[in-house]
Amino acid sequence: MFPPGVPLVAGSATSTKIVVAGGFGVGKTTFVRSVSEIPPLTTEAVMTEASVGVDDIAAVPAKSATTVAMDFGRISLESDLVLYLFGTPGQGRFWFMWDDLVRGAVGAVVLADTRRLADCFPALDYFEGSGLPFVVAVNQFDGAPVYTPEAVRDSLAVPAQVPVLICDARQRASTVEVLTALVLHALVVEPALQH
């Protein structure tokens, strides 16, 4: 799966931390759940009347719970590469936790929803500002407008070197494809940052 020269130690697993970020209700918990080999740890809380007027559920009216701290899962991409996934909360009032969740990560997935692309700008700004390699994954919700990766790139002003993919966070194969693209992107970006 990975090109020759990938610095993995033979006979031992290399583990790495990946962050899954994006706006409220974009599918971060679903993304982690769909791919995790272990029962994922989630910190979802039932949405109450206190969130009325604070959390915009217009695009996700069936949403009844939200992540209040993080999601955690694990996947082995190869026998010697284990990814630990940390999903961030999407609401602005929980962004203070991001620095702690991102510490030690080698890359991030920014999930986007074409019904509300502007919701991913805070995550894009955060990772562009931090220098952490990231990919943009457009979670294709049923009935949502369909755009090409290049149209999304243009709308979000994502730099040309950052991969933009279309995915379905409910489907394991789709999330594996996104994670693989992120790992390969991070391998290219990280050495360039060291020069």
Highest average pLDDT, of 13-22, 64-73, 131-140, comes from: 131-140
Question: Looking at the predicted structure, is the pLDDT value of residue 92 above 70?
Answer: no
- pLDDT tens figures, 8-27: 444 567 889 999 999 888 99
For 8, 24, 89, 112, 177, the CA distances from 119, given in Å and listed in that order, are 36, 8, 13, 8, 23
Domain ranges, ordered by start, for the chain: 15-47+67-190
Question: How is domain 15-47+67-190 classified at the CATH fold level?
Answer: Rossmann fold (3.40.50)
Whole-number mean pLDDT of the chain?
A: 82
Residue 91's pLDDT band (boundaries 50, 70, 90)? Answer: low
Average pLDDT over residues 71-84: 90
**The pLDDT value given to residue 70:** 72
